[in-house]
Structure formats: C-alpha cells, structure tokens
C-alpha cells in the first residue's frame, strides 16, 4: 500500500543533503579493508626483508628466496585482486587462436561508490614502492653489490609491471589515440622523405 504525502521545499532540501552526506561518508570509509591490507602487506614485507634479512641470516639464497616470494605474492594480489576491488581496474593478457598475444586494459564503468580512501591508498602504494626500489638500485650500484642489484631489478620488474598496467588502464584510451596519431604522423613523414629522395635521384 502506498501513502501519498505532501512535503515542502525545506524538507526536500534536507533529505537531499542527508543523501549527499551519506554518500560522502561511504567514500571516506574502507569498503574492502582486507584487500587494502594485503595491497600493502606483501610489498612492504619485501622491502623490510631486503633491508633487514641480512641481520637474521648470512645466507644470500635464503634472503633472495624470501624477497622473491613476497614480490611474487604482491604481484599476483595487486594484479588479480586489489586493483579490481579498490579502483575498478584490471589488466590481463589474452592469446588468441592464431597464437597472438593481446594485452587488455579494462576500467569499470560507474565508479560513484568507489572509496576515495581506498583509491588513494592503492595509488600511493603502487607508486611509492617502485620509487623505493629505484633508490635501492642506485645504492646497490654505488656499493658495487651486484647480487643485490639483481634482486632489485627483479623487484622493479614486478612492481613496475603492475604500475605500468594500471596506468594504462587509467589512461589507456588516451594512450591509444596518441599512439595512433603518432604512428600516422610517422608514416606520413616517411612517405614525404621517400618521395623527396626519389625526386632528387631523378
């Protein structure tokens, strides 16, 4: 049964204000706290292991394996779970029937319910950790520690792949348009140069 009621303008404004306030509260709270924890847990664990593993073990192999395990777990978690839940982005690879590899960068439509706090945590964790590994790379180069340089290169490869993938998801359409425009411009310049050389030879 439906009841018809009459409300004045002030009540309508108050109700709209309340709904906006509730939406803002939803954006400020964590919608996926477990995913947020694991988004940072493995990558921070890899950095902490790199810094302090030598204090607890003299074996480089043990330290190497521990760091790589954390990095691998971080790569899988960020690529397959946290990116989709926290910011609505996903990238993956597809091999078609002809054996050609296709990289796909997806962005979820309609992100009005997305948590601003989770989005900020996601991007800060995604960007800051590769920057830290770059600092470790220069430190290992200056100290001539090539075995640790190898570890840092693996870390940069895994964390950098996720960073690149999610940046492509975020601005993929613009990138594709610019790539097409650049390719077309390059082809036109090549044709112009070829025709000019042909004219000179004649």
Render pLDDT for 10-63 as a digit per residue (tens, 0 to 9).
344 444 444 555 545 555 567 888 989 999 999 999 999 999 988 887 888 999
Confidence class of residue 175 from pLDDT cuts 50, 70 and 90? low
Is residue 185 domain-resident? no
Q: Which domain holds residue 93?
A: 10-172
pLDDT of residue 76 exceeding 90: yes
Could you give the CA distance from residue 114 to residue 88 in angstroms, rounded to a whole number?
Answer: 8
Is residue 107 domain-resident? yes
Higher pLDDT, 171 or 4: 171
Is residue 196 domain-resident? no
Is residue 184 domain-resident? no
Q: Is 86 exposed, middle or buried (0-12, 13-18, 19+ CB in 10 A)?
A: buried
Is residue 112 domain-resident? yes
Is residue 188 domain-resident? no
Is residue 181 domain-resident? no
Could you give the CA distance from residue 25 to residue 30 in angstroms, rounded to a whole number?
Answer: 10
Please, what is the Cα angle at 173 between 169 and 178, to 5 degrees?
Answer: 125
Could you give the CA distance from residue 24 to residue 178 in angstroms, rounded to a whole number?
Answer: 35
Is residue 179 domain-resident? no
Range in 58-67, 104-113, 160-169 with the lowest mean pLDDT: 104-113
- pLDDT score, position 193: 52
Model pTM greater than 0.85? no
- How many domains, in total, are found in the chain? 1
Mean pLDDT for 163-177 is 75
- pLDDT score, position 103: 84
Widest pairwise Cα distance in the chain: 90
- pLDDT score, position 2: 36
- pLDDT score, position 184: 46
- pLDDT score, position 25: 54
Mean pLDDT for 114-121 is 87
């Amino acid at each position: 049964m439906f009841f018809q009621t009459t409300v004045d303008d002030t009540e309508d404004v108050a109700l709209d204000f309340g709904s906006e306030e509730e939406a803002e509260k939803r954006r400020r709270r964590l919608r996926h706290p477990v995913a947020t924890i694991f988004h940072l847990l493995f990558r921070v664990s890899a950095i902490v292991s790199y810094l302090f593993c030598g204090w607890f073990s003299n074996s480089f192999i043990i330290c190497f394996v521990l760091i790589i395990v954390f990095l691998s777990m971080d790569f899988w978690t960020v690529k397959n779970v946290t990116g989709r839940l926290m910011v609505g982005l996903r990238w993956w690879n597809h091999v078609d029937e002809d054996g050609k590899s296709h990289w796909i960068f997806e962005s979820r439509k309609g992100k009005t319910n997305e948590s601003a706090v989770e989005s900020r945590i996601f991007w800060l964790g995604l960007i800051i950790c590769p920057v830290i590994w770059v600092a470790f790379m220069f430190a290992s180069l200056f100290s001539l520690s090539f075995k640790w340089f190898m570890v840092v290169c693996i870390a940069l490869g895994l964390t950098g792949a996720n960073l690149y993938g999610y940046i492509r998801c975020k601005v993929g359409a613009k990138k594709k348009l610019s790539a097409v425009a650049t390719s077309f411009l390059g082809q036109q310049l090549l044709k112009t140069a070829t025709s000019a050389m042909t004219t000179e030879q004649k």
